[in-house]
């Protein structure tokens, strides 16, 4: 008698599990990626005595999951997909900082996010991206900076542009 109850309990468990699984709502996001600023953590270097780097943390959502580059994609427009521009606050004005002011090249911290597309039929994706940035420029007399950031997916959809809060560097 006990042997017959076990298969029945397994079948009932599978039915209940299937019902519960079908009630789980899949996340739906737009196909244009969306990013949000989360944090910027300053990293102190005890050897130099300066805050030299910082870790930018952002979160992202994308409805079709085409975030990140495939290894074979290495040429424009697929050479970078996370775009980060650097600014200093000079006498109250936000000023883009240039590598070469004669040709308009701003200092950029562009990065390449690897392919994050999920396996399987559901492609919606969300997560966190962290990028370590060098923020100590000894030739600068200004101690407050900020970054602007946006993400581009493989279909070349550009996310919203976010800005970090003002970041105070130290010179002591």
Q: Locate tokens 């076990």: which residue?
A: 6
**Per-chain mean pLDDT for the chain:** 82
Question: Mind listing the pLDDT tens digit for each residue in 39-87?
Answer: 999 998 899 888 889 999 999 999 999 998 887 766 666 688 999 999 9
Per-residue pLDDT, 8: 59
More confidently predicted of 30 and 106: 30
Domain covering 26-168, topology: Immunoglobulin-like (2.60.40)
Distance CA 150, CA 160 (A): 6
Tell me the percentage of the chain whose pLDDT exceeds 70.
Answer: 73
Q: What is the pTM of this model?
A: 0.77
Q: pLDDT class for 28, splitting at 50, 70, 90? A: confident
Range in 5-9, 10-14, 113-117 the model is least confident about: 5-9
Per-residue pLDDT, 115: 87
The tokens for 140 are: 């600068």
Domain ranges of the chain: 26-168
């Amino acid at each position: 008698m006990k042997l017959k109850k076990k298969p029945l309990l397994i079948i009932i468990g599978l039915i209940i599990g299937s019902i519960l699984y079908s009630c789980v709502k899949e996340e739906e996001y737009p196909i244009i990626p969306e990013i949000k600023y989360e944090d910027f953590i300053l990293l102190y270097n005890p050897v130099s005595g300066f805050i030299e780097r910082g870790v930018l943390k952002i979160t992202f959502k994308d409805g079709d999951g085409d975030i990140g580059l495939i290894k074979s994609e290495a040429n424009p427009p697929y050479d970078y997909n996370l775009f980060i521009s650097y600014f200093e606050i000079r006498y109250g004005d936000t000023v883009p900082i240039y590598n070469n002011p004669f040709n308009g090249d701003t200092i950029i911290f562009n990065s390449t996010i690897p392919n994050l597309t999920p396996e399987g039929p559901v492609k919606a994706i969300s997560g966190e991206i962290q990028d370590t940035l060098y923020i100590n420029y000894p030739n600068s007399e200004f101690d407050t900076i900020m970054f602007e950031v946006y993400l581009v997916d493989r279909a070349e959809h550009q996310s919203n542009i976010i800005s970090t809060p003002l970041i105070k560097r130290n010179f002591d």
